[in-house]
Amino acid sequence: MNLEFTDEGLVDLGRQALSVEIDGLRAQLPRLGAEFARACRICLDCRGRIVVTGMGKSGHIAGKIAATLASTGTPAFFVHPGDASHGDVGMITRDDAVLALSNSGETDEILTIVPVIARLGVPLIAFTGNSGSALARAATVHLDIGVPAEACPLNLAPTASTTAALAVGDALAVALLKARGFTEEDFARSHPAGSLGRRLLLHVQDVMRTGDDIPTVRPGTPLAEGLMEVTRKGLGMTAIVDDTMRVLGVFTDGDLRRALDASTDLRTTRMERVMSRHAKTVRPSTLAAEAVHLMETHRITSLIVVDADDRIVGALNVHDLLRAGVV
Protein backbone atom coordinates (compact mmCIF):
# COMPACT_ATOMS: atom_id res chain seq x y z
CA MET A 1 0.00 0.00 0.00
CA ASN A 2 1.39 3.41 -1.01
CA LEU A 3 1.14 5.76 1.98
CA GLU A 4 2.67 8.74 0.17
CA PHE A 5 -0.70 10.08 -1.05
CA THR A 6 -2.31 12.70 1.13
CA ASP A 7 -6.07 12.92 1.52
CA GLU A 8 -6.04 15.85 -0.90
CA GLY A 9 -4.05 13.78 -3.38
CA LEU A 10 -6.55 10.94 -3.24
CA VAL A 11 -9.44 13.35 -3.76
CA ASP A 12 -7.62 14.84 -6.74
CA LEU A 13 -7.20 11.38 -8.27
CA GLY A 14 -10.92 10.76 -7.90
CA ARG A 15 -11.72 14.07 -9.54
CA GLN A 16 -9.40 13.29 -12.42
CA ALA A 17 -11.19 9.98 -12.98
CA LEU A 18 -14.57 11.70 -13.00
CA SER A 19 -13.29 14.32 -15.41
CA VAL A 20 -12.13 11.62 -17.84
CA GLU A 21 -15.52 9.88 -17.60
CA ILE A 22 -17.35 13.17 -18.21
CA ASP A 23 -15.22 13.71 -21.33
CA GLY A 24 -16.20 10.21 -22.46
CA LEU A 25 -19.88 11.04 -22.06
CA ARG A 26 -19.52 14.34 -23.91
CA ALA A 27 -18.00 12.44 -26.82
CA GLN A 28 -21.28 10.53 -27.23
CA LEU A 29 -23.50 13.56 -27.87
CA PRO A 30 -22.46 14.37 -31.46
CA ARG A 31 -22.63 10.66 -32.39
CA LEU A 32 -26.32 10.26 -31.63
CA GLY A 33 -27.78 10.64 -35.09
CA ALA A 34 -29.32 8.54 -37.83
CA GLU A 35 -27.91 5.24 -36.54
CA PHE A 36 -29.35 5.87 -33.08
CA ALA A 37 -32.75 6.56 -34.67
CA ARG A 38 -32.44 3.29 -36.65
CA ALA A 39 -31.69 1.41 -33.44
CA CYS A 40 -34.80 2.93 -31.87
CA ARG A 41 -36.92 1.91 -34.88
CA ILE A 42 -35.67 -1.66 -34.67
CA CYS A 43 -36.68 -1.84 -31.01
CA LEU A 44 -40.06 -0.20 -31.63
CA ASP A 45 -40.81 -2.58 -34.53
CA CYS A 46 -39.65 -5.65 -32.60
CA ARG A 47 -42.55 -8.07 -32.04
CA GLY A 48 -40.57 -10.16 -29.54
CA ARG A 49 -37.96 -9.13 -27.01
CA ILE A 50 -34.66 -7.29 -27.07
CA VAL A 51 -31.96 -9.83 -26.22
CA VAL A 52 -29.01 -8.00 -24.68
CA THR A 53 -25.59 -9.62 -24.45
CA GLY A 54 -22.05 -8.73 -23.45
CA MET A 55 -18.98 -10.32 -21.91
CA GLY A 56 -17.13 -9.34 -18.73
CA LYS A 57 -17.67 -5.74 -17.63
CA SER A 58 -19.72 -5.14 -20.79
CA GLY A 59 -21.91 -8.03 -19.66
CA HIS A 60 -22.66 -6.27 -16.38
CA ILE A 61 -23.64 -3.14 -18.30
CA ALA A 62 -25.70 -5.24 -20.72
CA GLY A 63 -27.62 -6.74 -17.82
CA LYS A 64 -28.47 -3.30 -16.47
CA ILE A 65 -29.56 -2.06 -19.91
CA ALA A 66 -31.84 -5.10 -20.30
CA ALA A 67 -33.37 -4.41 -16.89
CA THR A 68 -33.92 -0.73 -17.72
CA LEU A 69 -35.54 -1.56 -21.05
CA ALA A 70 -37.82 -4.16 -19.44
CA SER A 71 -38.97 -1.79 -16.69
CA THR A 72 -39.73 1.05 -19.10
CA GLY A 73 -41.97 -0.69 -21.61
CA THR A 74 -39.53 -2.54 -23.89
CA PRO A 75 -39.52 -6.30 -23.12
CA ALA A 76 -35.89 -7.38 -22.80
CA PHE A 77 -33.63 -9.90 -21.09
CA PHE A 78 -29.90 -10.61 -20.78
CA VAL A 79 -28.17 -13.65 -22.25
CA HIS A 80 -24.56 -14.46 -21.40
CA PRO A 81 -22.69 -14.93 -24.69
CA GLY A 82 -20.68 -17.85 -23.29
CA ASP A 83 -23.88 -19.68 -22.35
CA ALA A 84 -25.46 -18.68 -25.66
CA SER A 85 -22.93 -20.72 -27.64
CA HIS A 86 -23.73 -23.74 -25.45
CA GLY A 87 -27.47 -23.81 -25.98
CA ASP A 88 -28.89 -20.55 -24.67
CA VAL A 89 -28.88 -19.06 -28.16
CA GLY A 90 -32.13 -21.02 -28.48
CA MET A 91 -33.70 -18.26 -26.38
CA ILE A 92 -33.48 -15.98 -29.42
CA THR A 93 -36.48 -16.20 -31.78
CA ARG A 94 -37.12 -14.71 -35.20
CA ASP A 95 -39.34 -12.06 -33.61
CA ASP A 96 -36.54 -10.74 -31.41
CA ALA A 97 -33.74 -8.20 -31.84
CA VAL A 98 -30.26 -8.49 -30.36
CA LEU A 99 -28.25 -5.72 -28.68
CA ALA A 100 -24.60 -6.70 -28.27
CA LEU A 101 -22.01 -4.76 -26.26
CA SER A 102 -18.27 -5.08 -26.86
CA ASN A 103 -15.84 -2.19 -26.53
CA SER A 104 -13.29 -3.86 -28.81
CA GLY A 105 -15.92 -5.29 -31.12
CA GLU A 106 -13.80 -8.44 -31.29
CA THR A 107 -15.13 -10.42 -28.31
CA ASP A 108 -14.87 -14.08 -29.35
CA GLU A 109 -17.92 -15.26 -27.38
CA ILE A 110 -20.14 -12.71 -29.14
CA LEU A 111 -18.68 -13.24 -32.60
CA THR A 112 -19.34 -16.97 -32.21
CA ILE A 113 -23.10 -16.43 -32.07
CA VAL A 114 -23.27 -13.71 -34.76
CA PRO A 115 -23.73 -16.26 -37.61
CA VAL A 116 -26.65 -17.84 -35.72
CA ILE A 117 -28.26 -14.41 -35.31
CA ALA A 118 -27.74 -13.76 -39.03
CA ARG A 119 -29.34 -17.09 -40.02
CA LEU A 120 -32.40 -16.23 -37.93
CA GLY A 121 -32.68 -12.93 -39.77
CA VAL A 122 -32.71 -11.13 -36.43
CA PRO A 123 -31.57 -7.48 -36.48
CA LEU A 124 -28.35 -6.88 -34.56
CA ILE A 125 -27.60 -3.59 -32.81
CA ALA A 126 -23.95 -3.29 -31.74
CA PHE A 127 -22.41 -0.93 -29.18
CA THR A 128 -18.65 -0.87 -29.76
CA GLY A 129 -15.74 1.51 -29.48
CA ASN A 130 -14.28 0.34 -32.79
CA SER A 131 -16.25 1.06 -35.96
CA GLY A 132 -13.87 -1.14 -38.00
CA SER A 133 -14.34 -4.20 -35.80
CA ALA A 134 -15.88 -7.50 -36.87
CA LEU A 135 -18.95 -6.92 -34.69
CA ALA A 136 -19.50 -3.43 -36.07
CA ARG A 137 -19.28 -4.71 -39.64
CA ALA A 138 -21.73 -7.55 -38.97
CA ALA A 139 -24.30 -5.37 -37.22
CA THR A 140 -27.52 -4.12 -38.73
CA VAL A 141 -26.91 -0.90 -36.80
CA HIS A 142 -23.64 0.11 -35.16
CA LEU A 143 -23.41 2.76 -32.45
CA ASP A 144 -19.90 4.03 -31.85
CA ILE A 145 -19.49 4.44 -28.07
CA GLY A 146 -15.74 4.95 -28.13
CA VAL A 147 -14.17 7.25 -25.53
CA PRO A 148 -11.02 9.38 -25.72
CA ALA A 149 -9.46 7.52 -22.77
CA GLU A 150 -10.31 5.25 -19.90
CA ALA A 151 -10.39 6.72 -16.41
CA CYS A 152 -7.95 3.97 -15.43
CA PRO A 153 -4.47 5.61 -15.48
CA LEU A 154 -3.16 2.54 -17.30
CA ASN A 155 -5.91 3.04 -19.90
CA LEU A 156 -6.75 -0.63 -19.50
CA ALA A 157 -9.58 -1.24 -17.01
CA PRO A 158 -13.02 -0.59 -18.55
CA THR A 159 -14.18 2.58 -16.81
CA ALA A 160 -15.10 5.50 -19.07
CA SER A 161 -16.05 3.06 -21.84
CA THR A 162 -18.52 1.15 -19.66
CA THR A 163 -19.97 4.42 -18.38
CA ALA A 164 -20.50 5.55 -21.98
CA ALA A 165 -22.17 2.25 -22.90
CA LEU A 166 -24.46 2.51 -19.90
CA ALA A 167 -25.40 6.11 -20.73
CA VAL A 168 -26.17 5.33 -24.39
CA GLY A 169 -28.23 2.35 -23.23
CA ASP A 170 -30.16 4.70 -20.94
CA ALA A 171 -30.61 7.12 -23.84
CA LEU A 172 -32.05 4.30 -25.94
CA ALA A 173 -34.43 3.23 -23.16
CA VAL A 174 -35.62 6.77 -22.51
CA ALA A 175 -36.18 7.49 -26.21
CA LEU A 176 -38.23 4.29 -26.50
CA LEU A 177 -40.14 5.12 -23.32
CA LYS A 178 -41.20 8.48 -24.72
CA ALA A 179 -41.97 7.09 -28.17
CA ARG A 180 -44.24 4.41 -26.67
CA GLY A 181 -46.13 6.94 -24.54
CA PHE A 182 -45.07 5.05 -21.40
CA THR A 183 -46.81 6.56 -18.35
CA GLU A 184 -46.22 6.69 -14.61
CA GLU A 185 -48.95 4.11 -14.17
CA ASP A 186 -47.19 1.80 -16.65
CA PHE A 187 -43.96 2.22 -14.70
CA ALA A 188 -45.71 1.48 -11.42
CA ARG A 189 -47.15 -1.76 -12.83
CA SER A 190 -43.57 -2.89 -13.42
CA HIS A 191 -42.67 -2.04 -9.81
CA PRO A 192 -45.70 -3.13 -7.76
CA ALA A 193 -43.73 -4.13 -4.65
CA GLY A 194 -41.66 -0.98 -4.27
CA SER A 195 -42.43 2.39 -2.73
CA LEU A 196 -42.74 3.83 -6.23
CA GLY A 197 -45.47 1.33 -7.08
CA ARG A 198 -47.33 2.15 -3.89
CA ARG A 199 -47.15 5.87 -4.63
CA LEU A 200 -48.42 5.47 -8.18
CA LEU A 201 -50.95 2.66 -7.79
CA LEU A 202 -52.44 3.16 -4.33
CA HIS A 203 -55.63 5.22 -4.17
CA VAL A 204 -57.33 6.98 -1.29
CA GLN A 205 -60.06 4.31 -1.24
CA ASP A 206 -57.37 1.71 -0.48
CA VAL A 207 -56.30 3.38 2.79
CA MET A 208 -59.26 5.48 3.98
CA ARG A 209 -61.36 4.68 7.05
CA THR A 210 -65.00 3.89 6.41
CA GLY A 211 -68.27 3.20 8.21
CA ASP A 212 -68.28 3.71 11.96
CA ASP A 213 -64.60 4.75 11.87
CA ILE A 214 -65.47 8.03 10.12
CA PRO A 215 -65.79 10.95 12.59
CA THR A 216 -69.05 12.83 11.91
CA VAL A 217 -71.39 15.09 13.90
CA ARG A 218 -74.42 17.23 13.06
CA PRO A 219 -74.16 21.04 12.95
CA GLY A 220 -76.33 21.36 16.08
CA THR A 221 -74.16 19.03 18.16
CA PRO A 222 -72.69 20.69 21.30
CA LEU A 223 -68.97 21.35 21.07
CA ALA A 224 -68.32 19.05 24.04
CA GLU A 225 -69.89 16.11 22.18
CA GLY A 226 -67.97 17.05 19.05
CA LEU A 227 -64.72 16.83 21.01
CA MET A 228 -65.69 13.37 22.21
CA GLU A 229 -66.18 12.29 18.57
CA VAL A 230 -62.75 13.63 17.66
CA THR A 231 -61.23 11.69 20.55
CA ARG A 232 -63.10 8.44 19.81
CA LYS A 233 -62.17 8.27 16.13
CA GLY A 234 -58.53 9.32 16.55
CA LEU A 235 -58.16 11.34 13.36
CA GLY A 236 -57.63 14.71 15.01
CA MET A 237 -60.79 16.09 13.42
CA THR A 238 -64.46 15.48 12.74
CA ALA A 239 -66.62 16.27 9.74
CA ILE A 240 -69.83 18.22 10.23
CA VAL A 241 -72.55 16.75 8.00
CA ASP A 242 -76.25 17.29 7.31
CA ASP A 243 -78.96 14.63 7.40
CA THR A 244 -77.97 13.41 3.91
CA MET A 245 -74.28 13.08 4.94
CA ARG A 246 -73.20 16.04 2.82
CA VAL A 247 -70.17 17.75 4.28
CA LEU A 248 -70.85 21.20 5.70
CA GLY A 249 -67.51 21.77 7.37
CA VAL A 250 -64.72 20.32 9.47
CA PHE A 251 -63.56 20.78 13.05
CA THR A 252 -59.86 20.25 13.76
CA ASP A 253 -57.35 20.79 16.54
CA GLY A 254 -56.75 24.27 15.11
CA ASP A 255 -60.43 25.12 15.41
CA LEU A 256 -60.38 23.91 19.03
CA ARG A 257 -57.46 26.18 19.89
CA ARG A 258 -59.26 29.15 18.37
CA ALA A 259 -62.43 28.28 20.29
CA LEU A 260 -60.55 28.04 23.58
CA ASP A 261 -58.75 31.33 22.93
CA ALA A 262 -62.18 32.93 22.54
CA SER A 263 -63.34 31.40 25.86
CA THR A 264 -66.05 29.45 24.04
CA ASP A 265 -68.48 27.52 26.27
CA LEU A 266 -68.05 23.83 25.43
CA ARG A 267 -71.57 22.84 26.49
CA THR A 268 -73.70 25.53 24.88
CA THR A 269 -71.76 26.26 21.68
CA ARG A 270 -72.86 24.29 18.62
CA MET A 271 -70.45 22.77 16.13
CA GLU A 272 -71.73 24.96 13.29
CA ARG A 273 -70.44 28.01 15.19
CA VAL A 274 -66.84 26.80 15.48
CA MET A 275 -66.33 24.63 12.40
CA SER A 276 -64.30 25.60 9.33
CA ARG A 277 -66.70 25.76 6.41
CA HIS A 278 -64.20 25.04 3.65
CA ALA A 279 -63.07 21.51 4.40
CA LYS A 280 -60.36 20.01 2.24
CA THR A 281 -61.77 16.92 0.56
CA VAL A 282 -60.67 14.26 -1.92
CA ARG A 283 -62.43 11.59 -3.96
CA PRO A 284 -61.91 7.86 -3.31
CA SER A 285 -60.24 7.51 -6.72
CA THR A 286 -57.61 10.14 -5.90
CA LEU A 287 -54.07 8.76 -5.85
CA ALA A 288 -52.79 8.44 -2.29
CA ALA A 289 -49.69 10.36 -3.37
CA GLU A 290 -51.91 13.29 -4.41
CA ALA A 291 -53.51 13.21 -0.96
CA VAL A 292 -50.04 13.52 0.56
CA HIS A 293 -49.32 16.51 -1.66
CA LEU A 294 -52.61 18.15 -0.66
CA MET A 295 -51.79 17.71 3.02
CA GLU A 296 -48.32 19.16 2.57
CA THR A 297 -49.58 22.12 0.54
CA HIS A 298 -52.25 23.10 3.08
CA ARG A 299 -50.28 21.98 6.15
CA ILE A 300 -53.00 19.67 7.39
CA THR A 301 -52.84 16.11 8.72
CA SER A 302 -56.22 14.68 7.73
CA LEU A 303 -58.67 14.68 4.83
CA ILE A 304 -62.36 13.99 4.31
CA VAL A 305 -63.27 11.67 1.41
CA VAL A 306 -66.47 12.50 -0.48
CA ASP A 307 -68.37 11.12 -3.45
CA ALA A 308 -69.57 13.08 -6.49
CA ASP A 309 -72.46 14.52 -4.45
CA ASP A 310 -70.15 15.71 -1.64
CA ARG A 311 -71.45 13.00 0.69
CA ILE A 312 -68.85 11.70 3.09
CA VAL A 313 -67.65 8.16 2.34
CA GLY A 314 -64.38 8.05 4.23
CA ALA A 315 -61.61 9.85 6.07
CA LEU A 316 -57.87 9.44 6.49
CA ASN A 317 -54.90 11.07 8.13
CA VAL A 318 -51.16 11.12 7.61
CA HIS A 319 -50.68 8.04 9.81
CA ASP A 320 -52.86 5.99 7.46
CA LEU A 321 -50.63 7.05 4.58
CA LEU A 322 -47.50 6.28 6.60
CA ARG A 323 -48.75 2.75 7.36
CA ALA A 324 -49.47 2.25 3.66
CA GLY A 325 -45.89 3.24 2.80
CA VAL A 326 -46.94 6.23 0.67
CA VAL A 327 -45.15 8.81 2.81
Same domain, 214 and 156: no
Q: What is the pLDDT of residues 15-34, one digit of tens each?
A: 999 999 999 999 999 999 99
pLDDT at 78: 96
Are 258 and 303 members of one domain?
Answer: yes
Asked whether residue 215 falls in the same domain as residue 162, the answer is no
Higher pLDDT, 54 or 154: 54
Please indicate, yes or no, whether residues 156 and 65 belong to a single structural domain of this protein.
yes
Average pLDDT on 285-302 reads: 91
What are the phi and psi torsion angles at 322 (to 5°)? Answer: -65, -45
Instruction: Give the residues across from 51 on adjacent strands.
Output: 77, 98
User: pTM of whole model > 0.75?
Assistant: no
Residue 143 lies in a domain: yes
- Rounded to a whole number of angstroms, the distance between the first and last alpha carbons of the chain is 46
What pLDDT is stored for residue 324 in this prediction? 82
> Which are the contacts of 194, defined by CB distance < 8 A and separation ≥ 6?
none
Neighbours of 156 (CB within 10 A): 8
pLDDT for residue 315 is more than 80: yes
Residues 279, 317 within the same domain: yes
Q: What is the pLDDT of residue 273?
A: 94
Confidence of residue 192 (pLDDT cuts 50, 70, 90): low
Q: Is 70 exceeded by the pLDDT of residue 89?
A: yes
Specify whether the CB–CB gap between 240 and 214 falls below 8 A: no
Q: Do residue 56 and residue 173 come from a single domain?
A: yes
Query: What is the three-class DSSP state of 314?
Result: strand
User: What SS3 class is residue 241?
Assistant: strand
Give the pLDDT of residue 289.
Answer: 85
Q: Is the same domain home to 32 and 160?
A: yes
Q: Residue 168: what pLDDT?
A: 97
Q: Output DSSP code: residue 239.
A: E
**CA 124, chain centre distance (Å):** 29
Cα distance between residue 286 and residue 205, in whole Å = 8
How confident is the model at residue 104, as a pLDDT? 96
Confidence band (pLDDT; 50, 70, 90) for 155?
confident
CATH number, domain containing residue 80: 3.40.50.10490
Mean pLDDT, the chain, whole residue set? 91
- pLDDT of residue 102 exceeding 70: yes
pLDDT at 177 over 80: yes
Claim to verify: residue 38 and residue 169 sit in the same structural domain: yes
Q: How many domains does the chain have?
A: 2
pLDDT band at 327 (very low <50, low <70, confident <90, very high): low
Query: What distance in Å separates the CA atoms of residue 95 and residue 85, rounded to the nearest whole number?
Result: 19
Domain extent for 274: 204-323
Do the domain assignments include residue 261? yes
Q: What is the mean pLDDT of residues 203-213?
A: 93
Picking from 207, 201, 230, the residue whose alpha carbon sits closest to that of residue 295 is 207
Strands 124-128 and 50-54: unpaired
What CATH number is associated with residue 242? Answer: 3.10.580.10
178 and 306 part of one domain: no
Residue 111 sits in the same domain as residue 177:
yes
Domain co-membership, 45 together with 177? yes
Contact in structure between 237 and 252 (CB atoms under 8 Å): yes
pLDDT in tens, 64-75: 999 999 988 899
Q: Could you tell me if 26 and 114 lie in one domain? A: yes
Which stretches does DSSP call E strand in 65-108? 76-78, 97-101
